[in-house]
Structure 1
Amino acid sequence: MAVVVRAGAAPLWWFGVVAAGVGAVPEGWTGRRIGVFAGAALFVVAAAVVALTRRRRYDALARGASRAGKYDVLQDRAVTVRNWRRGHRWWLVLAWALALGSAFAVPVAGGLLLAGCGTGLRLKAGWLGRRERALDSLLWVRVDWLDGRGGRPVGKAVKGLRGTGIAAGDAAPGGTRRRTAALV
């Protein structure tokens, strides 16, 4: 589940940083100074809102997670990330274009808002990773409950979560890539 949450964090962050950097060039209607301060405020607010949104639903699903069965379809981390990013690429490009366009009104602010959303997703994935460590179980959303675009990890179609051991799959708690020790 944390993999689906984390899949959008990096693109949002990087598109936001690029948009903020490019957005610092035009003077805008409000001026750069006001744009940077407004962007900093938007960054903090967006990160907090995204990180704290729907925590009760995540918590309820995590508490009710059942052990993954033989016929549950679970997919690798890389496939989940690829599916989410392919399914949302036009939304990401549209958000980036809007952040760039907003720089002519309020420089830097749109890019920092986008970066704040990415940071919030990363914080939420970290929180989920701590929950997974506390439960000593990786939490998975069944693939057939996600739509083809990668889906929403706690959407209406998700009826429950499946749990496996911490060592299962190619994802570590929190949705990060599992680091394997090189054999000597």
Structure 2
Amino acid sequence: MKKNIILIGFMGVGKGTTARAFARKYGVYNIDTDDLIESKENKEVKKIFEKKGEAYFRKCEQQTADWIEQCVTGTLISCGGGFYKVNNLKKLGTVVLLDASFEWIHNRLKTAKNAKSKLAKRPLFSDVKQAKALYKEREKAYKKVADVIIDVATLTLDEQLEKIAGKCKI
């Protein structure tokens, strides 16, 4: 297995925030799968969904996973909410689930300083009932693929980072 840390979890749980903080604290590179896809497609995720659909976006995620498997090591990788479905996830590194209840995630997004933009960039969160149904659908699958589960609702960011560092070698 590659020496990467793969952060998965529901949209809005804090994967990007955690990844950036981890990279600063431990001096490792971090990349975001949605950022990679946006760069390659020259479109925001929301626009990719609107113009080409979710199935096309999921193909982009698989291509990104294939590239990571071939080319990336020693990196913390924060993933989009649906990235856990790629067929080579376990080959990419140690899979860490950032876990929290739907209510905690929704509250985090609603009360963020830039709440409007945080919600706007998550196309699958535009309908809260649908987002909650999606959360329920993904909840068990996330836990099934995870090597490590971190309950972010009960820990400070520093505690999360220490837990990840203690469980994962990079």
| Alignment TM-score, normalising by the size of structure 1 | 0.28
Higher strand content, 1 or 2: 2
Which protein is bigger by CA-based radius of gyration? 1
| Alignment TM-score, normalising by the size of structure 2 | 0.30
Q: Which has the higher contact order (CA 8 A, sep 6+)?
A: 1
